[in-house]
Chain A
Amino acid sequence: MRLAAPAKSSPARTEQIILFRISGQLFALSSASVQEVRGVDSLWGAATEISAPGLRKVSHVVRRGDQSLFIVNGALHFGLPPSPGTLVFVLRKTGTALLVDGIEKMTTMTRLQALPQSFCHEERNWYRGLTALDQTVVPVVHPEGFLSPEEAALLEEVLASMESDHEVATEGADSAG
């Protein structure tokens, strides 16, 4: 038996992607899923520290009107060695932002191969699939895979509790004054 080449498909559908690095590891993300790219310095001023049990990967949240934007440390999320992170990708319609080390380049991918079924743990939520680019294989991340619904609910709960504590403290200070 000989491994057959994959069947030729009709005209390839291209997709614009951003190649970025976290702790030296290369990842890809659809550029359509990135609402904005911010420098860490420009975002940290508006961010509040948050600490949820068992969720070390989220240490800051930014309030934007009624919406909260949880900043996910990419290195901690993927289990990579810690890195400080210099850029934040605000991910469209997910309520999350991703802390990364830097952008490698923007490019297009013509083929996304589903993650092989041998990969059967959390990575199935992390990645949409794999793509071959410039003699390398790059995992294409799932923008909605950085926080599970349970993790998002936990963070919202912690945030609500923080805001409630803050209101009590403010009222206390007002009545004392």
Chain B
Amino acid sequence: MTVSAELELLSFVLLRLGDRRFAVAAGQIAELVAPTRVFRFPHRTPKIEGVIQRRGRIIPVCDVAEELIGKSLQSRRFYLLALRRYRAGTEWVAIPVTGECELINAEMTGAGESDAPHVAGWLSHDGDVIEVLNLDALTPGPEERLGEAAAHRAMGEQP
């Protein structure tokens, strides 16, 4: 491997949702926590299950399995705490995952035009091609609401 190739290696956390593996940039991950109580209360935001408490913080639980693998997780063992960027700063979100996570170094290929917005890129590991997730596009936030309002306006509806 050449020096220039080594420089392109980035760190990723591999997570498992059902039978599939996905990757998130390691810099966005805080920790993996054991199953804990999810507190639920009324709200209208899709994908948000409730909140968990961790080190004095209240963190929203965003279930992304439905969007990524087409079904909710049957067995859930851990919550991956990840950093989500918003226009006004960053906040932690808890992503339910099926199994243990793994830290790897790999080269990432950028996303193509035909890739979904939640795909930040692709990497190859252990013979698999793995999606690198863009959590800012995958988890809900104010920009999603703005997008919905714009879509409603375009269709001449009230948001």
Which residues in A have some Cβ–Cβ distance to B below 8 Å?
A: 1-6, 25-27, 78-80, 113, 116-123, 126, 130, 132, 136-139
Inter-chain contacts of B42 with A (CB < 8 A): 25, 78-80, 123, 126, 139
Bound together, the chains give a CA A78 to CA B40 distance in angstroms of: 13
- Which single member of A1, A117, A137 contacts B53 (CB below 8 Å)? A137
Nearest A residue (CB) for B52: A137
Given contacts A1-B31, A27-B41, A117-B88, 19 further A-B contacts (CB under 8 A): A1-B29, A2-B30, A2-B31, A3-B54, A3-B81, A5-B56, A25-B41, A26-B41, A113-B58, A116-B60, A116-B93, A117-B91, A117-B142, A120-B142, A120-B144, A120-B145, A121-B43, A122-B44, A136-B39
Bound together, the chains give a CA A78 to CA B43 distance in angstroms of: 7
Cβ contact within 8 Å between B140 and A118 = yes
Closest CB in chain B relative to A137 CB, distance in Å: 4
Ranked 10 nearest A-B pairs via Cβ = A121-B44, A78-B42, A137-B39, A123-B43, A3-B30, A118-B60, A116-B60, A120-B145, A139-B41, A117-B86
Nearest A residue (CB) for B84: A118
Which residues of B in the span 35-71 have a Cβ within 8 Å of any Cβ on A? 39, 41-45, 48, 51, 53-60, 62
Cβ contact within 8 Å between A118 and B45 = yes
Most buried by A among B30, B58, B86: B58
Most buried by A among B26, B39, B55: B39
Cβ contact within 8 Å between A113 and B57 = yes
Tally of A-B Cβ pairs under 8 angstroms: 91
Bound together, the chains give a CA A77 to CA B91 distance in angstroms of: 28
B141 at the interface (CB under 8 A from A): yes
Which residues in B have some Cβ–Cβ distance to A below 8 Å?
A: 26-27, 29-31, 39, 41-45, 48, 51, 53-60, 62, 81, 83-84, 86, 88, 91-93, 139-142, 144-145
Inter-chain contacts of B27 with A (CB < 8 A): 1
Cβ contact within 8 Å between A119 and B45 = yes
Nearest B residue (CB) for A117: B86
Cβ contact within 8 Å between A1 and B44 = no
Bound together, the chains give a CA A117 to CA B53 distance in angstroms of: 16
Closest CB in chain B relative to A44 CB, distance in Å: 25
Inter-chain contacts of B88 with A (CB < 8 A): 117
Bound together, the chains give a CA A106 to CA B45 distance in angstroms of: 29
Bound together, the chains give a CA A98 to CA B62 distance in angstroms of: 30
Inter-chain contacts of B45 with A (CB < 8 A): 118-121, 123
25 pairs from A and B in contact (CB 8 Å cutoff): A1-B31, A2-B30, A3-B30, A3-B54, A3-B81, A5-B57, A6-B57, A25-B41, A80-B42, A113-B57, A113-B58, A116-B60, A117-B142, A118-B93, A118-B140, A119-B45, A119-B140, A121-B44, A121-B45, A123-B43, A123-B45, A130-B51, A137-B39, A137-B41, A137-B53
Bound together, the chains give a CA A2 to CA B41 distance in angstroms of: 28
Inter-chain contacts of B81 with A (CB < 8 A): 3
Nearest B residue (CB) for A129: B58
- Which single member of B44, B55, B59 contacts A116 (CB below 8 Å)? B59
Cβ contact within 8 Å between B144 and A116 = no
